[in-house]
Structure 1
């Protein structure tokens, strides 16, 4: 994440930038509303998205059918609809996460679990799966713990959105930020220097730096960054799970994985997916199902998302 620019955007910016500023303005207004109103608006938005975003709805249904084949079509459709609601609510929650007064944000974020794992200066890689509230999880750690954390940031195409997101994610705790374009070396250095790394390694980014390991019984291209960074940084791996709840978010720090990494990169990546499956089963509708998790197929296998 780069530092937000100090200068204000020019009125001569292109229309796309004007639209981004209007969207940011809407989120700043939304941040002033009671949480129940924000969530109600998110419910409506989720229903609309489920209706109009046909491609993403089909992707989510395909993913759900592959991962929960025991469920009926009616159960699958109801779960996907709930997922769109959670997705929309979490997106609108970024309004108050990034713009509401500090005391409001801290009151709505409950951090619990094995918090002592962050005492001291032990090199740590945080396994933060793609649940819809992942931004709230990162903010809870930086807002409620004295230790400085590390995050990897990919710049957004729109400069105004980029500045807004960067400022929001860095509002507490002065996190150490590494731009994704800088590569692996500064990330490893940060871990070794004692900055716990908030890592989200559970998406399909293609075959590069990935192995095919099972995810709910289906081979999925899975990046190997978690075991590799843990090994290179001589770090413990600590899962952090974020759950959207009516009062805000519950962020749970789980105990470090013992003996991890301990096998080959492929074995350790497969273990990550096995653990992730268990986490997802505790709140399946809040996982990020609109992503093409099985987009990259092993050689010789047909496309997974036919007709999508």
Structure 2
């Protein structure tokens, strides 16, 4: 089927901008691309309004000056993340420069040595592929479950970019999910993002409001006796480097309790570094009511 005209135009523009950016030195490329996304793309795409509306819903006590700051800095982080992923080797070398820290590092190494499956869970925070890149530098190849984009032209080279960071990749499709399960059962380390609104998910808490959240990471951890470990690539003040944090494994209880623990882990980090989370997502779409006992 012929790609839609809109998809062809969007892909052509993005490929041109990304190509021009990649011609620049890394230290110039990353902040420049962040600036372009923040100052040009975000207003056109309506991201500024989305950031403001999400904050008004779940964090209404924030001062207006802080909201304005986040309307600038959240899209800047999104832009930096995109061009970092496309930077391949240079991005990997930067993440590999500092060893991961946290209570989960020893547990991850022990599981790898024992051949036990591991599910590394993160959110759209900092750079969500930084942990995967850092693990590869330590000899741990992290497979990734991902959602193919609607724009197939753009998805083709985006898939190549994330694959250059670490493989294997598993698209959300019957075939991809089957391959993912075989990989995990064989003792693989799988990376997952769990902070999208999922219409079929369980209603759990995130920032004191109802948020539809997929239980699949916890369910697979229980089914295949895999460690479930939150991990994050926290962008550092220079805007270029990262601290890779590997938290303690989530205890095996029920899928609901384990997934709520993942939400709580991410929320705690976002409250410390709100500019690094993708507030541009419709995280509370159709499920934004305050939880019982919580104030709006």
In the superposition, the TM-score normalised over structure 2's length comes to: 0.81
Q: How does 1:228-267 map to 2 (within 5 A)?
A: 228-245=219-236, 246=238, 248-258=240-250, 260-263=251-254, 265-267=255-257
User: Equivalent residue for 2:162?
Assistant: 169
Is 2:122 the partner of 1:128? yes
User: Secondary structure of the equivalent of 1:171?
Assistant: helix
Q: Provide the rounded CA distance (Å) in 2 between the counterparts of 1:254 and 1:94.
A: 20
Q: How does 1:206-225 map to 2 (within 5 A)?
A: 206=199, 208=200, 210-225=201-216
Given that 2:3 and 2:153 are in contact with CA atoms closer than 8 Å, whether structure 1 keeps it comes out as no
In the superposition, the TM-score normalised over structure 1's length comes to: 0.78
Render the CA deviation track for 1:268-295: whole Å, top value 9, x for unaligned: 2222211221121231111010111110
Given that 2:124 and 2:278 are in contact with CA atoms closer than 8 Å, whether structure 1 keeps it comes out as yes
User: Secondary structure of the equivalent of 1:295?
Assistant: coil
Q: CA deviation at 1:136?
A: 3.4
Q: Provide the rounded CA distance (Å) in 1 between the counterparts of 2:278 and 2:178.
A: 29
Given that 2:130 and 2:244 are in contact with CA atoms closer than 8 Å, whether structure 1 keeps it comes out as no
Render the CA deviation track for 1:180-223: whole Å, top value 9, x for unaligned: 112654433321211111000111021x1x11111111111111
Q: How does 1:191-206 map to 2 (within 5 A)?
A: 191-206=184-199
Shift in CA distance, 41/152, structure 1 to aligned 2, threshold 3 Å: closer
Q: CA deviation at 1:58?
A: 2.1
4, 23, 39: which one aligns with 1:47: 39
Given that 2:204 and 2:212 are in contact with CA atoms closer than 8 Å, whether structure 1 keeps it comes out as yes
User: Secondary structure of the equivalent of 2:145?
Assistant: strand
Give unmatched runs, 5+ long, in structure 1.
1-11, 302-308
User: Equivalent residue for 1:90?
Assistant: 81
Is 2:131 the partner of 1:137? yes
Q: Provide the rounded CA distance (Å) in 1 between the counterparts of 2:18 and 2:9.
A: 14
User: Equivalent residue for 1:34?
Assistant: 25
Q: How does 1:260-299 map to 2 (within 5 A)?
A: 260-263=251-254, 265-297=255-287
Q: Provide the rounded CA distance (Å) in 1 between the counterparts of 2:76 and 2:168.
A: 32
User: Equivalent residue for 1:9?
Assistant: none
Is 2:144 the partner of 1:151? yes
Q: Provide the rounded CA distance (Å) in 2 between the counterparts of 1:216 and 1:14.
A: 38
Given that 1:30 and 1:95 are in contact with CA atoms closer than 8 Å, whether structure 2 keeps it comes out as no
Q: CA deviation at 1:60?
A: 1.3
User: Equivalent residue for 1:106?
Assistant: 92
